[in-house]
Amino acid sequence: MYTFVKFGGSVITDKTGREAADLAVIEALAGAVATARAADPGLALVLGHGSGSFGHHYAARYGVHRGMPLDADHTGFALTAAAALRLNRIVVDALLAAGVPAISLQPSAALRSANGQITHWEITPIYEALKRRLVPVIHGDVAFDTAQGTAIISTEALLSFLALHSPLQPLRIVLVGEAAVYTADPHRDPLAQPIPFINHANIAQVLHGAGESRAADVTGGMRSKLELMWRLVEALPDLEVCLIGPDPALLVAALLGQPLTSGTLIRQ
């Protein structure tokens, strides 16, 4: 079976800056992936990452996520795609340096969307990479959209599509970002408490308290990510989703299915 992992744009970049990659964090996470693969040679990973201060800046500036008519100036679309690819190259190079056989697969070259939702994605290269023990690396990306002209497809949306519309159904999805899901925004409310477990009993309350991102994020922030992951958990009863901070030891444990000392676990 497969494990999907996402490096959040908010942890591998400074999202309040401009194309500010956090190389130390990226290299540490890449090392954790290498450690997990060495401990479990059968570990089959699909790795994605957000665009952080790379793609989100241009997407927000030019309104790519809101849609652009065919006769509009699409320079902003091109700039957004190029920025996302620059960060992708940094992430893939760090993985390769750590000994992970990572291969970059640009989503926008093979997908279409309508009203911001993926309608088709040719995922054969991802499947072929996995058969060869490679680690395909995808990323949040631009898309040509049949309804609104252009769109931004988040990494979570890509992983969700793979989980629901391909043979690559995961047993585990690991989202590396905030240290946990909290009762309120921990950056604004000192009384916010981590929520260790989310299930049917508390999902409505959790979503009510989930806030938006503090910096430019055209994919909707924490609430939209939680809603998407919960729909996945409902559709795939054996799936568990782990949300953890950028601690390499935690990432190794999550990838290997070991008990976590912190973070949030979502499952039925």
Cα–Cα distance between 119 and 112 in angstroms, integer? 6
Residue 139 domain boundaries:
2-266
Contact 78, 84 (CB under 8 A): no
pLDDT at residue 213 in the model: 47
One-letter amino acid of 126: I
At 25-49, the pLDDT tens digits run 999 999 999 999 999 999 999 999 9
pLDDT at residue 220 in the model: 55
Average pLDDT, the chain: 92
At 101-147, the pLDDT tens digits run 999 999 999 999 999 999 999 999 999 999 999 999 999 999 999 99
At 166-214, the pLDDT tens digits run 999 999 999 999 999 998 888 788 888 999 999 999 999 898 877 654 4
What CATH number is given to the structural domain containing 120?
3.40.1160.10
The tally of domains found in the chain comes to 1
Dihedral in degrees, nearest 10, Cα atoms 167, 168, 171, 174? -160
